[in-house]
Amino acid sequence: MKRMREKRTPIPVGECVGRVMPYAKNRKQEIIALEEAHGRFLAEDLIADHDIPAFDRSPYDGFAVRSQDTKEASSLHPVELAVRGEIGAGSVFEHTVSAMQAVRIMTGAPIPKGCDAVAMLEVTKEYTKDNQPIVQIKRSFNSGDNISFQGEETTKGTVLASKGTYITPGVAALLATFGYSNVAVFKKPVVGLLATGSELVEVSDPVERGKIRNSNAHMLRAQIEKAGGEVNYFGIMPDDLSQCYNAVKAALSEVDMLITTGGVSVGDYDYLPDVYKQLQAEVLFNKIAMRPGSVTTVARMEEKLLFGLSGNPTACYVGFELLARPVISTYAGKRTPHLRKEKALLGKDFLKPNPFMRFVSGRLSYREGQLIASPLSFTKSSAVSSLAHADTLIIFPGGTRGYKEGMLVDVLLLDDVRGSEWPW
Amino acid sequence: MKRMREKRTPIPVGECVGRVMPYAKNRKQEIIALEEAHGRFLAEDLIADHDIPAFDRSPYDGFAVRSQDTKEASSLHPVELAVRGEIGAGSVFEHTVSAMQAVRIMTGAPIPKGCDAVAMLEVTKEYTKDNQPIVQIKRSFNSGDNISFQGEETTKGTVLASKGTYITPGVAALLATFGYSNVAVFKKPVVGLLATGSELVEVSDPVERGKIRNSNAHMLRAQIEKAGGEVNYFGIMPDDLSQCYNAVKAALSEVDMLITTGGVSVGDYDYLPDVYKQLQAEVLFNKIAMRPGSVTTVARMEEKLLFGLSGNPTACYVGFELLARPVISTYAGKRTPHLRKEKALLGKDFLKPNPFMRFVSGRLSYREGQLIASPLSFTKSSAVSSLAHADTLIIFPGGTRGYKEGMLVDVLLLDDVRGSEWPW
């Protein structure tokens, strides 16, 4: 049972991320219905399949006229035009409009042949004269007045959103406008999830003495979904090398990457290091110069990554966000897959110095548009729930001094959808 | 066909929202599996079903000892304790530890009977003497040293997240820890969606002259999902009063609220006002003192709201975000259902004054933690795609002057998950 105590070399966070990202890919695509596309990433450029507007149209309710007929019109000498008909939105006026004629036109309807301007309803007066509907116009119009011309907003062939764009409600509208009833998006990676630890029981089980419920797997499930992945959960493995090895090997064959939680420390019951050895997986690093999450290990087996996250909930959370999230989001098609890093004013003292870079869960607010980040209190009684209420990880670089309220610090935004290309 | 031109009274945005919100409810709940709970809202308080830790446990790998046996220990005079066995995480040591004995203990394992302190592995030395495994200890420990006591993080019965909390990964972890394999959440409201306009064709149809594709419905579908609702799409209605009336009436009976797009202006083909009349629905307002979206109409039919949004895409978007979103999010269980309002520095001049309050789509960035909001350019060629790239609505109050770069303005954050209780 006893093994050599392994000596591990801590590596800076940014370098660890740099070792992982070459294995983050997004080669797989799929075609889905537009109705399902919200929240996914475009796998192809979104291109205008027709001009916008698609035809010369009226931006207002009013009367389509021939500008030359209005040349002499004024308040004192209004012109009277014979109303030839009306065009609702969606219909087309089939005739050509002749001299001294006009057509009632609705917003969005196509300008009829012969007309080259629109008089808004507000500047007209309608009445009947000799059983003929008449519109009276009191000012002159130039050719082109109040016409939205074909292609003036967008011409056919224009790229309106590029490959990798996140599909927001506004992008969904563009896809609909240009006929994408089916949309090419990046396929969500399938992320295997395996909890290790003889102390773990499932959520529906009672907590016997010595046991704890498997909460990390449920936290990670939500984190994976948030990052754009699909979860394949393989359950709980006891602390047994051959069971662990078999479970990891079988799981790997079904997924794009595998996340395990627990078993990565140097304790007697931590078998993941041995599993990597047996698999002949290349360990990219097994110690990060940060707290929490220093034991986070990433290995690769051919092109597939194995994330060995800590069994400690906070360390597990942080390890995921910094290392697994950008890989999953890249697979899902996001060009800015990392947590967004910004500056914020520290909202509360954090006086405890730490030799290593520390990530502390916090809560963001604004004061006149200035971002403020307050560490969630670090008492024992808040450890359980601080992740539940966090929307940022505050970065405290390693050093010998603490940090005072009002100092400018780096923060990672946990709920930001835009992300970052490379925050390190 | 001709009707009286209706005179409408514009009402301030905040007052309109205030007229709508009394009909926003969240009475319906459902029980779902924890695996499905991410992104929903708790319908009950989350309560600790046991102490955390659930038992006195070791926070480190090391040896459980009786502190009194270490009293005289020092570097010069180390004590030797007989190792009685070992306790892995998840297992329990059944015997009582006697004088001058110790037990190897792993992180998280329960402290065995008789012991009252833990010596970390780093300060111990192991060897065998007369075939007996021995641990050597070179310092003294006090009773309670290196023990995580039962209940020191949380005691049974504590409320850790209250009703209405958004289920983040961290909240999912709490739910798992406390045995919520099934979770009571608020039911998503079913939101009916009906597009009106004879000019509309479905996305898969070709665009004939005079027609446009039905993009608003797809935009609204994504907006409804983002707000926490479930969509029931009823298709496109032509501009025909009796068809519209029948469609609206039938749809209303199947949904919690109904959103229509188009048909709410005062044009000859705008039938929604007549539909409301026939339904004997109470119109809460039919004109808002804002641009775009001034024709947004909301009516209520008993307890159900009918949102009549503009057919213009930008006006439709804004009308939804200000009025429909908070209602849907309230149904979904969110206590802060409105768009979050913050201050930002204007990133670009916006010099066009407007008599009415204007909502302009924009893009957010930070400069040393200071929020900057830049209007997306307002040229004709950007109108089509500006919504696709917007993450804020910048609020320009009505007035006679424009706004210059660097001024502090109010912004509504479109992608923020926290929301606001009441921004007006």
B278-296, pLDDT tens digit by residue? 999 999 999 999 999 999 9
Nearest CA in chain A to B199: A90
Query: If 0-12 CB within 10 Å is exposed, 13-18 middle and 19+ buried, where does residue B98 land?
Result: exposed
A window 338-357, beta carbon within 8 A of B = 342-345
In angstroms, the CA A273 to CA A2 distance is: 14
Token pair listed for B4: 């009286």
Nearest CA in chain B to A384: B153
- Beta bridge partner(s), residue B399: none
Instruction: Name the least confident of A170-174, A379-383, B385-389.
Output: A379-383
CA distance A204 to chain B (A): 5
Q: Give residue-wise pLDDT tens across range B323-364.
A: 999 999 999 999 999 999 999 999 999 998 888 999 999 999
Which residues lie closer than 8 Å to A68 by C-beta, 6 or more apart? none
| pLDDT mean across residues, chain B | 93
Supply the pLDDT for residue B328: 98
Peptide bond into A375 cis (omega under 30): no
Q: Domain A341-413, what fold?
A: Beta-clip (2.40.340)
Residue B424 C-alpha from the chain's centroid: 20
Torsion (CA) A388, A389, A392, A398 in degrees, nearest 10: -80
Token pair listed for A268: 């007697």
The answer on pLDDT for A4 being more than 70 is no
Please give the average per-residue pLDDT across B62-84, as a whole number. 96
Query: If 0-12 CB within 10 Å is exposed, 13-18 middle and 19+ buried, where does residue A248 land?
Result: buried
In angstroms, the CA B45 to CA B160 distance is: 8
Task: Tell me the pLDDT band of B400, cut-offs 50, 70 and 90.
Answer: confident
Q: How does DSSP classify residue B332?
A: T
In angstroms, the CA B178 to CA A125 distance is: 73
Supply the pLDDT for residue A380: 62
Query: Residue ranges per domain, chain B?
Result: 13-28+188-331, 31-48+163-186, 62-137, 340-413
In angstroms, the CA B80 to CA B216 distance is: 78
Which residues lie closer than 8 Å to A379 by C-beta, 6 or more apart? none
Supply the pLDDT for residue A382: 62
List the one residue out of A310, A409, A324 whose CA is nearest residue A359: A409
Which residues in chain A are contacts of B370 at CB distance < 8 A? 369-371
Supply the pLDDT for residue B378: 64
The answer on pLDDT for B1 being more than 70 is no
- Class for domain A35-51+154-186, per CATH? alpha beta
- The CATH code that applies to domain A13-28+188-331 is 3.40.980.10
Q: Give residue-wise pLDDT tens across range A188-210.
A: 999 999 999 999 999 999 888 89
Which residues in chain B are contacts of A207 at CB distance < 8 A? 50, 54, 179
CB pairs under 8 A between A and B: 300
B415 touches chain A (CB under 8 A): yes
Top pLDDT among B207 and B256 is at B256
Which residues lie closer than 8 Å to B351 by C-beta, 6 or more apart? B402, B403, B404
Instruction: Judge: A218–B176 Cβ closer than 8 Å, yes or no.
Output: yes
CA distance B190 to chain A (A): 16
A176 touches chain B (CB under 8 A): yes
The answer on pLDDT for A54 being more than 70 is yes
Please give the average per-residue pLDDT across A376-390, as a whole number. 76
Which residues in chain B are contacts of A160 at CB distance < 8 A? 384-385, 388
Please give the average per-residue pLDDT across B187-191, as a whole number. 97
CA distance B99 to chain A (A): 24
Supply the pLDDT for residue B381: 59
Instruction: Judge: A50–B207 Cβ closer than 8 Å, yes or no.
Output: yes
| pLDDT mean across residues, chain A | 93
Q: Give residue-wise pLDDT tens across range B359-382.
A: 999 999 999 999 999 999 666 656
The answer on pLDDT for A186 being more than 50 is yes
- Class for domain A62-137, per CATH? mainly beta
Instruction: Judge: B210–A109 Cβ closer than 8 Å, yes or no.
Output: yes
Instruction: Judge: B203–A176 Cβ closer than 8 Å, yes or no.
Output: yes
Token pair listed for A322: 């910094």
Residue A64 C-alpha from the chain's centroid: 45
Cβ(B271)–Cβ(B284) below 8 Å: no
Supply the pLDDT for residue B267: 74
Please give the average per-residue pLDDT across B239-261, as a whole number. 96
Supply the pLDDT for residue A2: 47
CA distance A346 to chain B (A): 11
Please give the average per-residue pLDDT across A5-19, as a whole number. 91
What ipTM did this prediction achieve?
0.94
In angstroms, the CA B104 to CA B134 distance is: 10
Nearest CA in chain A to B89: A199
Superfamily name with CATH number, domain B340-413: MoeA, C-terminal, domain IV (2.40.340.10)
The answer on pLDDT for B408 being more than 60 is yes
Please give the average per-residue pLDDT across B75-90, as a whole number. 93
B315 touches chain A (CB under 8 A): no
A132 touches chain B (CB under 8 A): no
Cβ(A107)–Cβ(A62) below 8 Å: no
